[in-house]
A and B are shown apart, each in its own frame.
Chain A
């Protein structure tokens, strides 16, 4: 039977642009350019490699997000994924990590899966908890933050480089995996890939397709409340000197004046 891989991807505001909050303190996604989160490209890449090594595999990319999030799906399809699912619903606006994991988990179950692959974190929210939440919800092993991953005979193996140690992990499928940016450079879509992506199927689901009530998600369903957001005051301009041969000594003098020496 074919290996069914679902890759979760997120459409995020461009980090090099001017990111800010909307009036309701959600991330403003209307006024800024978006793209497929770079960290999810690594997940797509590993999914494609695992699929290429398997006899028979199918890679589905899944996103939850507004209309523009289709761009993220297109990018993944042009890299080589087979099909895409877009969960979109006005009631999703303001959904937090707990709610997002609910929607993703229901969609993954509906799609059918043997392996879920996520990026290590999104580049906007940066919480890095969705893969663990998915494993908890789906009731399958969590094999996360891998810098190296392989699948063979229904078993996923990988290396997790932690603070104190580097660990070799192993679990039976079905499982949820997340990969880091150390897992291997993501491929660029080829011209052929971009053309082919246009013909690949993109399914659209809403909350009712997933039997989720509006109250369970969105700002009202959120388990956390943001009471305020303030732009960090610009750092006051520091002293900048040009090295004329004494730069190191001048710097030492500054450090001494700040009691660091």
Chain B
């Protein structure tokens, strides 16, 4: 059976959820072979094996942390040469897309980014994408070379599928371009204890209607009652009420949770671009004409300062 390369996104050996989703999709096309790089690479093997990786190719070097993107491209290219896979799958993070694009160019392949589904096809894997602020869905495939496809978080279920997960050392020679862009400093983001925005099953977002940084406590309380991640519209981010890392939309994160709760958000096209594929959408807005209501499964026309705290209390009391 053909092998499919899966690029592993991990933090010091802890595999992030989108990679496990990629393994689910990879198994539809062939046997997943994972590539894990950098500090803790070998520690990823057990989790990857549990979710279907037949082999785990690993390599660690200081270059992965000290220089931007290119060392990882060099390694993935080495893995591509060693494995001759039927496809290469990469998580659709900002960095993932850059790695994938440069790899595609080097190996003479086409690239598809931000797939939301993937199936095997007669002429290679067929990717579903959501375009124009999620108002259209397209089916595409790579017609030249080994398909390189990046896949958005929450595009497939994480499935247990035990496989060998044999760890093998990947041999990598860095190109002379690998050290072009030096990372001279790194400030890790402080953990909020909440789920990662793009990976969360529930996202609770606030917009301009929240009216101030201190009021975001209401949004956070609702999020915590549901075990959700917190999102924000660009208006709230630009006002300095919430960090840009939490922005949902075209120039922020694209999320596709089971449940999206928007409070004090009007539903501008650029915001919709980042949340329209959510399974269930709920909104609280005092303007009955707000465009967000066109998307909702359930909407409350009202003041969020009344509705949100009441909702939070009710959830807490129901959960006991």
Contacts and interface: CB of A to CB of B under 8 A. Distances in A.
A228 B114 contact: no
Contacts of A157: 184
A133 B202 contact: no
B145 interface: yes
Given A182-B244, A238-B296, A228 B138 contact: yes
A30 interface: no
A251 B311 contact: yes
Nearest to B268: A16
Contacts of A39: 251
A127 B97 contact: yes
B101 A120 contact: no
A261 B139 contact: no
A226 B133 CA distance: 18
Interface string B106-146: 10011111100000000000100011111111111111110
Given A15-B269, A165-B187, A247-B300, A226 B250 contact: no
Interface stretch (A83-91, A142-150, A196-204): A142-150
Contacts of A141: 68, 177, 180-181
Contacts of B132: 19-20, 124
A2 interface: no
Given A142-B69, A163-B93, A169-B182, A232 B130 contact: yes
Contacts of A172: 180
Interface in A90-141: 96-98, 101, 120-121, 123-124, 126-129, 131-133, 135-137, 139-141
A29 to B, nearest CB: 13
A175 B177 CA distance: 12
The CB with the most chain B CB atoms within 10 A, among A16, A96, A255, is that of A255
B interface, size bucket: 35 or more
Contact of A136 (B102, B143, B295, B296): B102
Nearest to B101: A129
Nearest to B319: A261
From B70, B113, B301, residue with most partner A Cβ within 10 Å: B113
A224 to B, nearest CB: 4
Contact of B98 (A132, A167, A229, A248): A132
Could you tell me the dominant secondary structure of chain B's interface residues? Answer: mixed
Nearest to A254: B298
B314 interface: yes
Contact of B101 (A132, A166, A255): A132
B136 to A, nearest CB: 5
Given A223-B145, A227-B140, A261-B315, A242 B110 contact: no
B166 interface: no
Interface centre among A97, A225, A256 (most CB of B within 10 A): A225
B64 to A, nearest CB: 13
Interface in A1-58: 15-16, 19-21, 25, 39
B297 A252 contact: no
A30 to B, nearest CB: 16
Nearest to B148: A223
B50 interface: no
A194 interface: no
14 contacts: A127-B97, A128-B98, A136-B73, A141-B177, A175-B181, A182-B244, A223-B109, A228-B138, A240-B300, A240-B301, A241-B298, A249-B311, A252-B311, A252-B318
Given A238-B298, A243-B306, A260-B258, 13 more contacts: A128-B94, A132-B101, A162-B95, A164-B188, A223-B104, A227-B139, A229-B136, A230-B138, A240-B301, A241-B299, A247-B302, A247-B310, A258-B259
